[in-house]
Amino acid sequence: MTRHKASVTSPAAPVALLGDIRALIEASHQRAASAVNAELTLLFWRIGQRIHTEVLAGQRAGYGEEILPTLAEQLARDYGRGFGEKNLRRMVKFAATFPDEPIVATLSRQLSWSHFVLLLALKEPMQRDYYAQMAGVERWSVRTLRERTDSMLYERKGYLFSSSSARIAGWKPRC
């Protein structure tokens, strides 16, 4: 079989073709990275949920405190330092803080594990939900999320009032 070299009539055609192919490759890389991130985030949630329900919950809490360092040591040896005790504790807190797996599944398509780690530091559930939703909708990077939480965007918008104090004061949220 002989190969025929296609004649190029325009020097711009290969440049346009190259640009289109590069765009396809970059888009594919981005989708793959997003899929991997979402899967890892769900994995971390499931690990945290499993440890929380089977080891740390209820009367086995003392046992859990003893076994968690051993579990972390074995997992870190097998899978790397991302499964050390500190991260396992984060995973447990993640599952306890965000108990609804379908919501985590949805958010994990928009937010990375690093986003969730920042959100875990927020004490107020409504504040955490606000930042999670805004970060997802606005496509905030981790840096932007950190800047917004540090600048107290939620508090400056006046959302920190409880619903009962808002009714008493006649305050209505600005939406």
Domain coverage including residue 148: 110-175
pLDDT tens by residue, 121-133: 999 999 999 999 9
Q: 120: burial class by Cβ within 10 Å (0-12, 13-18, 19+)? A: middle
Give the mean model confidence (pLDDT) for residues 137-156.
92
d(CA 111, CA 141): 8
My answer on whether 131 and 155 are in the same domain is yes
My answer on whether 116 and 146 are in the same domain is yes
Residue 37 has pLDDT above 90, yes or no: yes
My answer on whether 136 and 95 are in the same domain is no
**This prediction's pTM:** 0.76
Q: What's the number of CA atoms in the CB half-sphere (13 Å) around residue 3?
A: 2
My answer on whether 91 and 118 are in the same domain is no
**Nearest to residue 157, comparing CAs of 118, 131, 125?**
131
Tokens matching residue 16: 């346009």
Residue 2 domain-assigned (yes or no) = no
Give the count of domains, the chain: 2
Residue 87 domain-assigned (yes or no) = yes
Which of 21-30, 32-41, 151-160 is predicted with the least confidence, judged by mean pLDDT?
151-160
- Give the other-Cβ count within 10 Å of 124's Cβ: 13
d(CA 3, CA 88): 57
Q: Which helix (H) or strand (E) holds 160?
A: none
Work out the pLDDT band at 6, boundaries 50, 70, 90: low
Residue 20 domain-assigned (yes or no) = no
Last residue of some domain: 99, 127, 144?
99
My answer on whether 82 and 47 are in the same domain is yes
pLDDT tens by residue, 62-110: 666 778 899 999 999 999 999 999 999 999 999 999 999 999 999 999 9
Last residue of some domain: 72, 99, 126?
99
My answer on whether 65 and 85 are in the same domain is yes
Which pLDDT value is given to residue 163?
A: 44
